[in-house]
A = this chain, B = another copy of it.
């Protein structure tokens, strides 16, 4: 099969889990109806982005894997016979939680996990409080629709992560994400941020000759402490193996995007842009240093 149809569910998240998940399930069904064999959900899609503040009570939101969400999404994956990439707040042990993408096979089983490796900590994104950095490395997940290089949000700024996934055979780079504007920022700063976010992810497609799927949260979520909030900017997109945009969502609407990926193009593009051939691995050793001083 040389093409793969991929669905992307860009949505808002209500304070309650039930209506949020109901919209996710509706989006998955719509994507499957439109032919998707793989559906990607956004980061931490079962509820509001709780990392806007540090509150120990929020650890109640974490769940085990397997657990309620993998059961639920496993059940719809099996029903529709599709692969689903979910993004969950994983409770691994008391006081040990991860930001974890779970890849669910078309038979409902868990194909594999990716635990977010790069953890941000910025005003409004206090993830270092909640998430232990991943310990599974940059390891793609093998599925019936291909080898998936699943990464999460902040990882998208790191060329190292994309490269390691590609070197391990990833056929697609996949980013569930939750990023937005600080509404207090000036319009030109907001524009630079969105453009940078698109550009860095498209660059991973280019550097590796590998399509990129990025699914981002949309809508305003007020900070619980009344200090403001985040306007998640949507713009979920798919890029082809040369980094070209294939489909791109709006910045303000819930949307189910569906894109067809030509799986042969990675080979074609790598023949004209054989970047993997010429890497100077003899001179890359210092990439494992914090700084070269």
A residues neighboring B (CB under 8 Å)? 117-120, 122, 133, 137-138, 154, 157-161, 163-164, 167-169, 192-193, 195-196, 199-200, 202-203, 206-207, 242-244, 272-276, 278-293
Contact = CB atoms under 8 A, between A and B. Distances in A.
A133 B281 CA distance: 12
A199 B206 contact: yes
Contacts of A161: 280
Contacts of A119: 278
Given A159-B163, A193-B242, 12 more contacts: A117-B283, A120-B278, A122-B274, A157-B275, A160-B280, A161-B280, A164-B284, A164-B287, A167-B291, A199-B243, A281-B287, A281-B289
Given A118-B280, A119-B278, A289 B158 contact: no
> Chain A binding site: helix, strand, loop or mixed by DSSP?
helix
B280 A133 contact: yes
A210 to B, nearest CB: 13
A195 B203 CA distance: 10
B281 A284 contact: no
A219 B293 CA distance: 41
19 contacts: A117-B280, A117-B283, A118-B278, A133-B280, A159-B160, A167-B289, A192-B243, A195-B243, A196-B206, A196-B243, A200-B203, A202-B203, A279-B290, A281-B287, A281-B288, A281-B289, A281-B290, A284-B288, A287-B287
A159 B207 contact: yes
Nearest to A239: B199
A118 B281 CA distance: 10
Nearest to A197: B206
Contacts of A273: 157
Contacts of A120: 278
Nearest to A207: B159
A20 B278 CA distance: 31
